[in-house]
C-alpha cells in the first residue's frame, strides 16, 4: 500500500464528512459536491500534494488539506477526525491552520478554561443565592445547545433557531445573542450531565420553565426529523425542571402542530 492510499476505517474519515464536521460546509452534500467539482489537495507524510476529487477518499490525522473557499485559499492540518458535527468551537479542534508563511497555529492554542467559565462553574456548584438571572439564562442556553447535540449533529437550522429564541424570547440583540451562544456552546461541550444546568434553571417560575421546555421541543424538531435521543433528552430535562409531564406533552404537540421548530 502506498503512503497515499486510503486509510483503514478505524484511523481515517471520509473527506466530505470531515469537511462537514469541521464546519467548512453547512451540508455534507455541499462538501461532497465541492470535492467532486473543485477538488481538495491532500499531502501526506510531508509528501507532495495530490488533488482528490473523490468525496469518499479517506483522510487521516496529520494530512494537510488545501482548497479554495469563499475567495481565499485554506490550508489546514488534520488534528482530529471527529465523531459528529458539533458547535464551532468543537469543530475548530479538528484542524490546525497553516498560514501563508507555513507556520502552524495549533487548535490547542488558547484552550485553557476562561475566567468567566471558571466563575460560572463555581457559582453553579455553590450556594443557589449566588446565582443570578444571567446564570439562569446561560444555563438555559446550554440546555438548548445540548438538545440540538443529543442526536450527534448540531445542524445549522438548530443553531439559527437558538439564536432566534435569544433574540425574540429573551430580547437580546445580535451581538449579545452571538456572545451568549458562543458561551453556551463552550459549556455544553464540557457538560457531563444536565443537573448543574437544571439546578439553576429550576429556580425560575413554573411558567418560564414550561416555556423553556417548549423551546427545547422546537430545537429538537427544527431539522424536520424525530430523534429518540433528542426526545429522551427533553423528557429528562423536563423531569429535572419539575415540569408536569402533561405540560411537556402539550408543548410537544403544539410544536408539531405548528410545523416543528418553525414559529
Count of domains in the chain?
2
Cell output for 34: 465541492
Would the pLDDT of 105 be above 80?
Answer: no
pLDDT of residue 111: 44
Say if residue 122 is in the same domain as residue 233. Answer: yes
Q: DSSP letters of 130-188?
A: G--HHHHHHHHHHHHHHHHHTTSB--HHHHHHHHHHHHHTS---HHHHHHHHHHHHHHH
User: Does one domain contain both 96 and 226?
Assistant: no
CATH of the domain at 144: 1.10.3680
Instruction: Name the grid cell of 249.
Output: 406533552
Q: Are residues 213 and 133 in the same domain?
A: yes
How confident is the model over 29-77, as pLDDT tens digits? 999 999 999 999 999 988 888 999 999 999 999 999 999 987 788 999 9
Residues 37, 165: one domain?
Answer: no
Asked whether residue 145 falls in the same domain as residue 231, the answer is: yes
Residue 161 domain-assigned? yes
Q: Model confidence over 145-200: pLDDT tens digits?
A: 999 888 878 888 888 999 999 999 889 999 999 989 988 887 887 666 778 788 88
pLDDT confidence tier of residue 2, bands split at 50, 70 and 90: very low
Domain span including residue 93: 9-105
- Between 27 and 10, the more confident residue is 27
CATH of the domain at 48: 3.10.290.10
Amino acid at each position: 500500500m502506498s503512503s497515499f492510499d486510503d486509510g483503514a476505517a478505524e484511523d481515517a474519515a471520509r473527506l466530505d464528512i470531515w469537511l462537514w464536521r469541521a464546519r467548512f460546509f453547512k451540508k455534507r452534500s455541499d462538501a461532497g459536491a465541492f470535492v467532486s467539482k473543485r477538488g481538495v489537495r491532500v499531502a501526506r507524510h510531508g509528501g507532495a500534494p495530490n488533488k482528490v476529487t473523490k468525496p469518499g477518499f479517506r483522510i487521516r490525522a496529520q494530512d494537510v488539506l488545501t482548497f479554495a473557499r469563499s475567495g481565499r485559499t485554506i490550508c489546514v492540518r488534520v488534528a482530529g477526525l471527529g465523531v459528529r458535527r458539533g458547535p464551532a468551537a468543537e469543530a475548530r479542534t479538528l484542524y490546525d491552520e497553516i498560514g501563508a508563511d507555513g507556520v502552524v497555529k495549533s487548535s490547542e492554542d488558547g484552550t485553557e478554561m476562561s475566567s468567566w467559565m471558571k466563575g460560572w462553574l463555581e457559582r453553579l456548584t455553590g450556594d443557589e443565592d449566588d446565582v443570578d438571572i444571567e446564570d439562569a439564562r446561560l444555563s438555559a442556553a446550554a440546555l438548548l445547545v445540548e438538545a440540538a447535540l443529543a442526536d450527534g449533529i448540531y445542524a445549522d437550522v438548530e443553531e439559527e433557531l437558538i439564536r432566534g429564541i435569544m433574540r425574540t424570547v429573551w430580547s437580546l440583540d445580535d451581538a449579545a445573542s452571538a456572545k451568549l451562544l458562543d458561551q453556551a456552546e463552550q459549556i455544553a461541550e464540557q457538560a457531563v450531565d444536565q443537573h448543574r444546568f437544571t439546578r439553576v434553571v429550576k429556580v425560575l417560575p413554573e411558567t418560564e420553565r414550561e416555556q423553556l421546555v417548549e423551546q427545547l421541543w422546537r430545537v429538537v424538531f427544527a431539522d424536520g426529523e424525530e430523534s429518540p435521543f433528542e426526545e429522551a433528552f427533553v423528557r429528562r430535562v423536563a423531569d429535572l425542571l419539575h415540569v408536569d409531564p402533561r405540560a411537556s406533552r402539550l408543548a410537544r404537540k403544539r410544536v408539531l402542530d405548528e410545523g416543528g421548530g418553525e414559529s
